[in-house]
Amino acid sequence: MEYIHPQTPEQAQQLQQRLAEQVITTDDFETVNYIAGVDVAYDEAKNKVVAAVVVLDAATFEVVESQTAIEPISFPYVPGLFSFREVPPLLSAIEKLTTLPDLIVCDGQGIAHPKRCGMASHLGVLLDIPTIGCGKTKLLGEYMPPPEFKGASSDLIDNQQCIGKVLRTQNGIKPVFVSIGHKISLTTAVDWVNKLTPKYRLPETTRQADQLVNRCLKAL
Tens of pLDDT, residue by residue over 77-106, are: 898 999 999 999 999 999 999 999 999 999
Residue 191 marked ligand-binding = no
pLDDT at residue 77, as a whole number? 87
Domain extents in the chain: 9-219
Residue 145 three-state SS? coil
Q: d(Cα 177, Cα 181) in Å, to the nearest integer?
A: 12
Residue 2 pLDDT > 80: no
pLDDT 10s digits, 103-135:
999 999 999 999 999 999 999 999 999 999 999
**pLDDT more than 90, % of the chain:** 90
Q: Tell me the per-residue pLDDT of 47-72, one tens digit each, with 9 for 90 and over.
A: 999 999 999 999 999 999 999 999 99
44 alpha carbon, distance to own chain's centre: 21
**Chain Cα centroid distance, residue 131:** 7
107 is in an annotated binding site: yes
The answer to whether 178 and 165 are in contact (CB under 8 A) is yes
- The answer for residues whose C-beta is within 8 angstroms of residue 101's C-beta and 6 or more apart is 34, 35, 36, 55, 129
- Residue 110 CA to residue 135 CA, distance in Å, equals 9
CATH fold for the domain made of 9-219: archaeoglobus fulgidus dsm 4304 fold (3.30.2170)
The per-residue pLDDT of the chain, averaged, comes to 95
